[in-house]
Amino acid sequence: MDNCFFLDEPIVLVKQINKYKYQLTDLIPHVSISYQIWCYNSNDVFIKALNGVIEGDEYSNWGEDDNYIENIIRLRVVNS
């Protein structure tokens, strides 16, 4: 971090997320699946990315209901 400069006082930025898209990757059958989420504001400006893994009971409960996984992704965005 040679080009990193510190502020005397931190700056708090409030950014609004209006939409998101996601991708599921790295499926390990019966174990886990990874996700990437990209969050945007109403002007399609990228705000932030979220990455994680769905595993354990959360993964086991998925079954064949894609709405289940979509709700998990939505919760990751809301709780970010």
Q: Is residue 52 part of a domain?
A: yes
How many folded domains does the chain comprise?
1
Q: State pLDDT tens for residues 21-64.
A: 999 999 999 999 999 999 999 999 999 999 999 999 999 999 88
Question: 14 or 57: which carries more pLDDT confidence?
Answer: 57
pTM to 2 decimals? Answer: 0.81
Q: Is residue 43 part of a domain?
A: yes
DSSP characters over 7-41: -SS---------EEEEEEEEEETTTEEEEEEEEE-
Does the structure show a pLDDT above 90 at 1? no
Which tokens is 1 given?
A: 């971090």
Range of the domain at 27: 19-78
> pLDDT-derived band of residue 76, with 50, 70 and 90 as boundaries?
very high
Q: Is residue 12 part of a domain?
A: no
